[in-house]
Chain A
Amino acid sequence: MEKGKTPDDKTFLVERVLKNATENYSKDEIERLSCLRREKVNVPVIFLGTGSCGLSAGADKTLEAIRKYIADSGEKAEIVETGCAGYCSEEPVMDIQLPGKARISFRKVTADKVDEILISTLNRTLLYEHVLCQHKFPRHEGWSNIPSIEQLPFFALQNRVILKNTGLISPFSINDYIARGGYRSFYKTVLNYTPEKVCEFVEQSELRGRGGGGFSTGKKWQIALTTAGEQKYCICNAEESDPGGFMDRAIIEGDPHRLLEGLAIAAYAIGASNAYIFIRSDYPRAVKILQDAIAQAKEYDILGSNIFGSGFNLNIIIRQSAGAFVCGEETALIQSLEGKRGNPRSKPPFPAEWGLHGCPTIINNVETLANIPAIMEQGPVWFRSTGTRSSKGTKLFSLTGKVQNSGFIEVEMGVRIFDIIYSIGGGVRDNKKLKAVQIGGPMGVCIPASALDIEIGFDSLHDVGAVLGSGGLIALDETVCMVDLARYFMEFLQKESCGKCIPCREGTHRMLEIIDGITQRPKEESSHETLERFKGVVQLESLASVIKDSSLCGLGQNAPNPVLSSLKWFREEFEEHIFDRHCRSGVCNDLRSYTIDVDICNGCNVCQKKCPENAIIGTIRMPHFIVEEKCNGCGICFESCKFNAIFIK
């Protein structure tokens, strides 16, 4: 991994590339830089995406197979582990760069395919069925009949600023980052600008926090800078526990130094000498990569004391979150850092004035910080020129659900959700119809397929009741039951409610109870209980508004969102559940009932044997019947019937 890293490379990178970057490099230096950037390679280089998504698809076994092939065949080749490029549904992705040729990507390279792909590619022939795309570069000879990465629908609409390096460079090597211009913004900032100037710059860029609130980052920094305090702290919030959101992890696993650089600039801007990265402990790989990255940055004197001789000291500490969704809220996060239960407190005072240990503290999301190096490099005017009127820059999303292409993406603000689903996502899987898109994580909203003309941006999403904060974008097709999904989110939020304030603790519990009453068939219910159940249904909306108005933190204030938005757009589905006891998607077990088509059933008796409730009757070789009163809707008969004779009613 650290092969090219001799002291020579280090001195060259720090002195010539980082500190004294010029247009006029000597010929040797240009040559050396292109080697370090891997634009010119002398032996074949094999890149393998080993982010968490790659590993879950089997990249660890692929890596072993590659190492074995290289050892057995005696080929001279370098293996480089990279982060995920974003195209998670094609993982594990392996790239090969032969000397003089364009880098070429292969899709779904499981361990069994490694040998054939390596043998053919190293002999300069291609197995087209495995090829994904190629990365074109002026000095390289391209492969014929292979689309370049920009031509793939998944990448065509993206605008990769933060993800510029992700998937291309090794997250384990600081050399890769510096060779591509990394840490130059930090160097320039520390030596040329005062902290006031940096805050002003960021404010002018109109960057808004990507964590949820959408508050101006520059303003937040200015408050922390101007508030007096014996210590100031800078915290990076990488506690990303939204189910279905993994952009922060992707940045850290793909390009950790970009985050460190952003964090270092933020710390300089407010005058903090201690910075924390509060990261989810469920991301062991990201933690390891960050630890390595910090160690390397210290070795290069980019972190530590008297950085670049400017007198600025910075110590970055990694703290692993112990797993509580509410700790993504800034005051709860501070409590957790102080070693207490992660209960939020009321604001103001805001953490920028009174935060960790009572000192001015800024808390920024990973994505916000990852934007900073580019803003300092290209200036606030450039940043302001991208995006829409009220939302500048780009936004990361993790695109999952029932789309063809899933993964994480970066699009410019202002792109329509419709285009993300259909161009980048490639439409819905298995020829199903799109029903809705869930945006904004568990506290977000479901937008129906008919209203997807919305542009991505803080205000436009706010208008439909969504927050841009969490970048989860989940496509839902017709097989998804909206009531069941609302129940799922409610169950999650009820479990994650910290219990400090009553509206959230009891309210979410009660909402879950009410929805449970909708999705379950009442069993042996007295008339009084039926009345109570219906009262709950009638009061659901007013209960939701009480929770919204009276909860302490963002979790409670937004907890009713998934239910309210589903009620707004999919009311008829709720009513169907309540009045007809029917789930049109066949998801809610309790409301399902099955029927056997007597014309198809040949009486094989399999379903009768498997039915846990003995609800199926019939004699062998004669059509069977289901006794509806006994059936619990588990669907075992449906799955076990070989003749497709059982249908959902």
Chain B
Amino acid sequence: MEEFVEKIIRKYPEGKRESLLPVLQDIQNETGHLTASALMDVSEYLKIPVNKILGVATFYDQFHLKKKGKYHVQLCRGTNCHLYKSAALLAEMEKVLKIKDGQTSKDGKFSLEIVTCMGACSNSPVININGQFHPAVQPAVIGKLIRSLKG
């Protein structure tokens, strides 16, 4: 068992099914995504078959089974952002990054995730890159923004 997984599991000594989501969340916070070996460790500890755990992990939007990029781009597709043309923004983003929702670029630098609402509706359309908000983004500036991150 990997050391960090063991450390996380030890935080939930009762070892009940109830702890599954918090355990997975903690693992993901640590590594950015859920690895196969971590899922197997959790399965052994909580005595839940791996397929059940995979079922849970794929049900919820929060869990990623693929590695996230160095820059994780969250693009809001909430109602208000939709009214302010976030669809065009998404199309441009997909074109510039050459990846789609839920994917990571080949060089491992960028990953793209569509989120439903970040509660920043007064600054629509918004994107969030590694926790940093970019308010009222227009499709025309996406290329420049991504190039500046590429360095």
**Residues of A that sit less than 8 Å from B by CB:** 52-53, 55-58, 88-89, 91, 241-246, 249, 281-284, 319-325, 336-342, 398, 400-402, 406-407, 438, 442, 472, 474, 476, 480, 485, 488-489, 492, 498
Contacts and interface: CB of A to CB of B under 8 A. Distances in A.
A22 to B, nearest CB: 41
Nearest to A247: B119
Contacts of B62: 281, 321-323
A55 B77 CA distance: 19
Nearest to A342: B59
Given A340-B56, A401-B83, A485-B83, 6 more contacts: A56-B135, A242-B117, A281-B25, A339-B20, A342-B59, A400-B122
Contacts of B17: 338-340
B112 to A, nearest CB: 16
Contact of B80 (A58, A336, A400): A400
Interface centre among B60, B115, B126, B131 (most CB of A within 10 A): B60
Contacts of A91: 122
Interface centre among B17, B62, B122, B123 (most CB of A within 10 A): B122
A281 B20 CA distance: 15
B120 A56 contact: yes
B82 interface: yes
Contacts of B59: 324, 341-342, 498
A57 B126 CA distance: 10
Contact of B118 (A52, A398, A406, A492): A52
Contacts of A480: 83
Interface string B114-151: 01111111111010000101010000000000000000
Given A56-B123, A338-B18, A323 B83 contact: no
B109 to A, nearest CB: 23
A241 B60 contact: no
B21 interface: yes
B121 A246 contact: yes
Contact of A52 (B56, B60, B78, B119): B119
Contact of B78 (A56, A244, A249, A321): A244
Interface residues of B, number: 37
A320 B122 contact: no
A249 B119 CA distance: 8
A230 to B, nearest CB: 16
B98 to A, nearest CB: 16
B83 A474 contact: yes
B49 interface: no
Contacts of B37: none
Q: Which 10 A-B pairs have the closest CB atoms?
A: A243-B78, A322-B60, A56-B120, A339-B20, A246-B119, A88-B122, A323-B61, A56-B133, A244-B79, A243-B117
Contacts of A53: 119-123
Given A55-B133, A88-B122, A243-B117, A337 B18 contact: yes
A336 to B, nearest CB: 7
A241 to B, nearest CB: 6
A238 B25 CA distance: 18
A224 to B, nearest CB: 20
A489 B62 CA distance: 21
A283 B120 CA distance: 11
B19 A88 contact: no
Contact of A89 (B18, B55, B115, B122): B122
B25 A320 contact: yes
B55 A319 contact: no
B22 interface: yes
B131 to A, nearest CB: 8
Contacts of B24: 322
Nearest to B128: A56
B71 interface: no
Contacts of A342: 59-60
A58 B135 contact: yes
Contacts of A245: 117
Given A241-B116, A320-B25, A442 B61 contact: no
Contact of B79 (A281, A339, A472): A472
B77 to A, nearest CB: 7
A310 B146 CA distance: 59
Contacts of A283: 119
A281 B113 CA distance: 15
Contacts of A398: 121
A88 B126 CA distance: 14
B49 to A, nearest CB: 13
A622 B60 CA distance: 56
A267 to B, nearest CB: 19
Interface centre among B62, B77, B121 (most CB of A within 10 A): B121
A401 B121 CA distance: 8
B79 A438 contact: yes
Given A243-B116, A342-B60, A57 B80 contact: no
B83 A402 contact: yes
A339 B20 CA distance: 5
A221 B5 CA distance: 40
Interface in B21-57: 21-22, 24-25, 55-56
Interface in B93-122: 115-122
B25 A322 contact: yes
B120 to A, nearest CB: 3
Nearest to A89: B122
